[in-house]
Amino acid sequence: MANKIEAASKHVKENFSDRRTRFLLSLPSLRSDNSRRRINYIFRLRDRLFFRKKKPSSEEYPFRIIDPYEVFGEDFRFSEWTLVGDNWRATEDVKPVAIFWGFNNWKWGFVSDYLADYRVVFAPRKILSIPSLIALRKFPIKPSAFFFWGFTEPRMVRWYASTRHIPTFRMEDGFIRSAALGASHATPYSLIVDSKGLYYDPNRESDIEAILNEYNFSDTELAAAEESLNLIRALDIAKYNPPSFNGGQGGGIKIRRKIAVIGQVDNDMSIRLGNVDKWTMIELIRLAKFENPDAQIVYRPHPEVYKGYQKSKFRARVVTAICEIANPDVPLGQFLGTVDHVYTITSLSGLEALLRGKKVTVVGAAFYAGWGLTDDRVKLPRRTRQRSLIELFAAIYLKYPKYLADLNDPAIGIQAACLKIKADYEIGRFQLIKSGDSEQTAAMRAITASAHWPQLVFGTNKDLAGRDLQKIIGGIDFSELFLNRPGAIFQATLLYSICGMCSGNAARNAFLSAVRGFVDAEVFNELLLDLSHAYPGEYVAKQLAWLLAEVKNPRASVQVLSDELIRSIEMNLRMVEAEASEESSPSVKAPSAPIPLTAEQADLLYEVFDYSISIRDIDRAIKSAKRLLLAGYYVPKLMPKMAQIASLKFDNESAKIIAMLSHYGDLNGMMALLQARSYSSQDISRDILGFITLLAKLISLKPDRVNDAIFLIKKFPELFDEDKFERILIGILMLNSRRSMDRVLGLLAVERPHLALSAIEGLLDSGETSGNIRIVYSQALSYAGRLGDALAVMDRARQEQKISSTYRETLRLYVLAGMYEEGYKLVLDAQRRRIDLGDMHPRKIYFGSRMIKEAFFTFTELSLKRTVETYYPEKYFHYASPCGVHDSLFMLAIFGPGDEIRFASIYNLLPQKLQQKDISISCDPRLQALFSRSFRHLRFVPVPRPRNSDPIDIEEYSKVLGSDLIGVINNTATESIEAADGVMLVTDMLHECLPNYKAFPGTAYLRPDVRRVAEYRDRLPTGRRLVGLSWRSSLTTHSRNEHYLTIEELEPIFNIEGIQFVNFQYDECEDELAWVESLYPGKLINFSDLDQYNDLDGVAALMTCMDLMLAPATTVVELAGALGCPTWMFSNSSELHWRRIDGLGTDVWHNSIRHIEGSVLGDKSTLVAEVHKRLSAFATARSVEDASSAMLESVVTNRLVAGNGA
């Protein structure tokens, strides 16, 4: 320590002139580790070198600056360097150090993420040569690499790297960058990292030049390149894609060739280095005109020059006689679509024109020139190879850059970047309208003709309050909304809302005339009736006359409504006449005029509307909504609700379009989700790119709903490569860089807990105090393995806020930690305070506390039960308080097949408990044969229970009362409910049939097909122990994965002699089976002709042939136990402890099952070791029982170590 202080003293004396500092260091007492003055000195030093330094920050891409003292302790003596990123805090897998030179501080965040394999240090951007060398001498770690932004590094730094053999790299923006311009500090979605030079410097070889000269692309790479190029073309993506509504240029009749000249920034490095013949923009325009005298010449300036971010020597007046000046806000792809030929010096736009099939003349040394694809005016002797367009694209866009969305797979990265840019572009267009920018307001016609028109009509922006609604309506193409014949709910929502917003009858009449040709006669007629009461006038009679002329054979109902409408009009005419008479004779009273809704009445009617939805009185809800919309109240608030109503009524086309109007009207991310959910397979097939772009927009607006987007992809496996598109959608999430709670939740959803933790700690550091931040912080901590820290956070949160969310999260943590006694006390406390805990968390606490009846009773509080009861209030059967005669009862099975099999253990008890003459039960269709064979006294009705990601055949639900029932009820179930006297959930009877441990039968209750059992026995090998193996559920999430193992983690068991494993994994597992086969040939048998997911009767027959089943708590285990098969269920959580009834780990549901845990609960390595030990004993034991008895002492010991107490 003395040597360290002497060294520190010498360093500070050499570098600081502060006499007081020198004096303090000279004091002997500073050599004491506990010296008060020494501590004060250290903090003064830290204050000078770090605390008082200005800390850069970035809203677009936040980053964390690390205090050097946390890394180097007392050895840090520098102020020049800035350490960025969490890699500096890592104590394991310590990464090498890279120093970055010439980087603006707003780039620090994304640069450190691009170079995640390094600990990142940033030098001051404008540091001079000598100070840079001094600073390098002071840095305590030798850097492994230098990174330079462009060519901005000090010359002495380049010399220093060369003499010390430090690798150097140069960085620049990639070619698919962002929606906004770089000058606005938008995050680049791709970067170039070049180890030789840079693409725009032709004077030395660059990595891209080497790739194009030397690399041979595989067919797979070229296929990925072609797919990516097609996406760029389809989305019209360029390097920059600034949001704009300036899209009308060049749309006239083309009578001659159009030649584009692409402008560049004068001081752009590609001009300074690549303009070898010193062409000016004026000369380039003249060249284009000289070579194309009869063509139209259009000059497109660089966007940053046009917007004033960059200065230019170009003067338009010099060339206005021979060219037009184009607005660069017109999307580049759209602009290039109007031209035939492009002239450029070195601009990237020349490459983008080339990719779109245009002829390109290049007068400079552009990096894409010289490969046989461009009209080159300079010689480039180093470029020796001819390339196809796809090869050029593959090199420049896939092989050369790095993509932030996926640093390892450029094909995924570029597609995610393109989709995110498209989403950013659309969101940016919304912000342009909202800002009321004068230039964009002038483009009102373009806005009205675009998909953004709902923002002008339904948006909440006060700046648009003075809009001319009649003029806007005149520019809308309503036919687009009616292409797929949306239902009455959409038609009514559109008609009533716009009529209610119109300022007068003239605007209403114009709107009705524009839309009436697409509207169903019944809907239009009802609207006219309502308008005659709310906004009477001659226009109503005229619209009615049109309707009657159109409907040549009107139905009786239409005629009745028409008569009523005519009477209403006549009454209004009489009122006008009476008013005239009243002036001459005061005794004559005019009929009363329509009385509009007051604000108080509207509030009350909205409450009626909301309540009607909650009790599923949809007709009343729609009636209330129509009245509110027609009165002009709550339009933005009602639109999402009407979309939800349409979804409930299976009117998906209406739901989709109303949701689209709503989310374009107010950038509503949840409506983007509802719109996406409403797509059918046919909708997606017609516009697959539109659907994917919508999902990209959803993730951009609501990153916490990324899993919803992934589920929607998985719902249509015939249309999407699930794995590829899941990675693309996650990549889009990774490009969402702004700090937000939604982003943290999104990262947790895709199982990136450490990134989520870093993000939320950044939020906390920034002073974020939103209500749920501590809940989300607790989740991130627990998912990252810091359960103790999460508990501490929630203890403090609960002391400050005794609310539902803090109690629920604490209970979740208590379950993870096995703290059931504390959890039970918290449940009681919540009940005393009347805090709603839901049903799941108390159920887990009750089970963990071995309070069986209380746990099962929570199933009677399921929201699904309330939903079914809402639709069938008269039929729902309550066991504790039955009303009426219920001779027949239809019971609904819920949850997954594993739960259904487990709960089926009460089916033999139901006739005695319920005493109904006729009991029928819904079941998963895969279980019907097995259940019907096993419970002959009951009738089973096959009813599928689709997951969120499962495709839905809407025809199977045409009789279902609401879409929120499709998880348990289809047409068949609806018919069964209607035929029965009563309906209830199977789970309603669990607490009645199984009030305590003694009530569990524990015996086998399912019977396999004996014929199929014999068939499988004949196909299985003999002479070895047969062990059926499954290792995970088909449904995996971060919270569920703690219960499962990977096939790689189970590898040790495949070394055990005398055991033949048989596969019972029932989802996609070909790669895992191939992995085992490659290492242990023949060790794991797979019956490829058995559909393990759908043919559960066949699975049951095969199980019966096993000597032992080995699996986690999944359908496999429950089926094996229900069949009475000897089974070991491996577990890694305390959640299953309640199911053990003795020291052997016998299962309470199925006595043929034994629970297996590791010596350290939660440690999967000890779990695998325990499984290996038991299987080794089983391989030589006479039976499963003998092996279990032999291991009892080990089991008890393990549980005592884990603190469980068998």
Among 348, 345, 225, 358, CA closest to 285: 345
Lowest mean pLDDT among 19-33, 86-100, 288-302, 1181-1195: 19-33
pLDDT at position 577: 62
What are the angstrom distances between the C-alpha of 175 and each of 369, 396, 723, 1043, 1110?
16, 8, 26, 44, 52
Distances 68 to 13, 46, 113, 398, 1033 between C-alpha atoms, Å: 20, 9, 19, 37, 45
Average pLDDT over residues 118-125: 93
Distance CA 944, CA 180 (A): 48
d(CA 972, CA 920): 12
Q: State the pLDDT at residue 317.
A: 65
User: Residue 1131 and residue 1044: Cα distance in Å, rounded?
Assistant: 8
Half-sphere exposure for 1128 (CA within 13 Å, toward CB):
26
Range of weakest confidence among 404-413, 434-443, 493-502, 1139-1148: 434-443
- The C-alpha atoms of residue 609 and residue 630 are separated, in whole angstroms, by 14
Answer yes or no: are the C-beta atoms of 210 and 196 closer than 8 Å.
yes
Q: Are 639 and 458 in contact (CB under 8 A)?
A: yes
Domains of the chain, start order? 52-173 (3.40.50), 236-245+256-403 (3.40.50), 412-447+680-736 (no CATH), 460-536+607-665 (no CATH), 738-849 (1.25.40.10), 887-994 (no CATH), 1010-1196 (3.40.50.2000)
What lies within 8 Å, CB to CB, of 230 at 6+ separation is: none
- Predicted confidence band of residue 475 (pLDDT cuts 50, 70, 90): confident
Tokens representing 447 are 């806005």
The label of the residue with tokens 């109240």 reads 633
- Phi, psi torsion values for 443, nearest 5 degrees: -95, 30
For 142, 262, 803, the CA distances from 108, given in Å and listed in that order, are: 21, 31, 40
790 neighbors 778 (Cβ within 8 angstroms) = yes
What pLDDT shows up at residue 25? Answer: 43
Three-class DSSP labels, 998-1017: HHCCCCCCCCCCHHHHHHHH
Residue 285's Cα: distance from chain center in Å? 47
Residue 992 is classified by DSSP as H
Which pLDDT score is estimated for 739?
87
CB < 8 Å & 24+ apart, contacts of 675-680: 675/643, 676/708, 676/709, 676/712, 677/647, 677/708, 677/712, 678/647, 678/652, 678/653, 679/652, 679/712, 680/652, 680/954
Count H helices and E strands in the chain, helices first. 55, 24
Res 575: pLDDT: 60
- φ and ψ at residue 398, rounded to 5 degrees: -115, -45
Mutual angle of helices 773-783 and 753-765, in 10-degree steps: 150
User: Which of 125-134, 831-840, 1110-1119 has the weakest average pLDDT?
Assistant: 125-134
The DSSP symbol for 113 reads H
The predicted structure's pLDDT at residue 470: 80
Identify which of 24, 2, 3, 4 has the alpha carbon closest to the alpha carbon of residue 13.
24
Band of pLDDT at residue 237, cut at 50, 70 and 90: very high
The Cα–Cα gap between 727 and 747 comes to 13
276/256 Cα distance (integer angstroms): 32
- pLDDT attached to residue 50: 80
What one-character DSSP code corresponds to residue 1146? B
Q: Which tens digit of pLDDT belongs to each residue from 173-205?
A: 999 999 998 888 999 999 999 999 999 999 999
Output the average pLDDT for the chain: 88
Pair 312, 266: CB distance under 8 Å = yes
H/E run at residue 349: helix 348-355
CB 897 within 8 A of CB 926: yes
- Contacts within 8 Å (CB) and 24+ apart, 1076-1079: 1076/1047, 1079/1051, 1079/1054
Q: Are 960 and 974 in contact (CB under 8 A)?
A: yes
Give the residue from 90, 142, 149, 141 showing the smallest Cα distance to 124: 149
- When comparing pLDDT for 1041 and 730, which is higher? 730
Q: Using CA atoms, how far apart are residues 281 and 847, in angstroms rounded to an integer?
A: 78
**Is it the case that residue 913 has pLDDT exceeding 80?**
yes
Alpha carbon distance 601, 1089 (integer Å) = 66
Q: Which segment of 68-77, 361-370, 514-523 scores lowest on mean pLDDT?
A: 68-77
Q: Which of 1141, 1126, 1129, 1140 is nearest to 1181 (CA)?
A: 1126
pLDDT of residue 578: 61
Tell me the per-residue pLDDT of 1177-1197, one tens digit each, with 9 for 90 and over: 999 876 555 555 555 544 444
For residue 672, CA distances in Å to 258, 465, 651, 699, 736 come to 40, 25, 17, 9, 17
Beta bridge partners of 300: 262
pLDDT at position 246, please?
75
Q: Span 665-685, mean pLDDT?
A: 92
Amino acid letter, residue 117? D
Q: Is the pLDDT of residue 673 over 70?
A: yes
Can you read off the two tokens belonging to residue 320?
Answer: 């206005």
Mean pLDDT, to the nearest integer, of 49-70? 84
In DSSP terms, which residues pair with 145 in a beta bridge?
98
> What radius of gyration do the chain's Cα atoms show?
36
> What are the tens digits of pLDDT across the range 507-520?
999 999 999 999 99
| pLDDT score of 52 | 76
Query: Is pLDDT above 70 for 1202?
Result: no
- The structure's pTM equals 0.88
Separation in Å, CA 206 to CA 160, 175, 198, 786, 1195: 21, 16, 5, 46, 64
Confidence grade of residue 769 (pLDDT, cut at 50, 70, 90): confident
Per-residue tokens: 900: 């259904």
Q: Left, alpha or beta for 1126 (phi > 0: left; psi -120 to 50: alpha)?
A: beta
Residue 473 φ then ψ, to 5°: -60, -35
Tell me if 525 sits within 8 A of 558, measured CB to CB.
yes
- Going by pLDDT thresholds of 50, 70 and 90, the confidence category of residue 1034 is low
Mean pLDDT of 746-770: 91
Mean pLDDT of 106-117: 94
Question: What's the CA gap between 74 and 764, in Å, rounded?
Answer: 27
Residue 120 · residue 112 · CB < 8 Å: yes
For 416-437, what is the HEC assignment?
HHHHHHHHHHHHHHHHHHHHCC
CA angle 10, 14, 20 (to 5 degrees): 85
Q: Does the pLDDT of residue 165 top 90, yes or no? A: yes
Residue 986: partners with Cβ closer than 8 Å, 6 or more residues away: 891, 892, 893, 894, 900, 903, 906, 921
**Measured CA distances, 900 to 854, 910, 921, 986, 1114 (Å):** 20, 15, 11, 9, 11
| Rounded-to-integer distance, Cα 183 and Cα 304, Å | 8
Could you give the angle at the alpha carbon of 167 between the alpha carbons of 161 and 168, nearest 5°? 80
More confident residue, 613 or 1180: 613
Task: Give the pLDDT score at 9.
Answer: 40
Task: State percent of the chain over pLDDT 70.
Answer: 87
Rounded to an integer, the average pLDDT of 221-240 is 96
* Higher-pLDDT residue of 73, 687: 687
Mean predicted confidence (pLDDT) in 108-133: 91
How many residues comprise the chain?
Answer: 1206
Per the model's pLDDT, the better-predicted residue between 231 and 765 turns out to be: 231
Would you state the pLDDT for residue 27?
41
C-alpha span between 140 and 75 (Å, rounded): 8
Distance CA 1003, CA 1121 (A): 8
Confidence of residue 441 (pLDDT cuts 50, 70, 90): low
Contact 175, 200 (CB under 8 A): no
Least confident of 28-42, 361-375, 1104-1118: 28-42
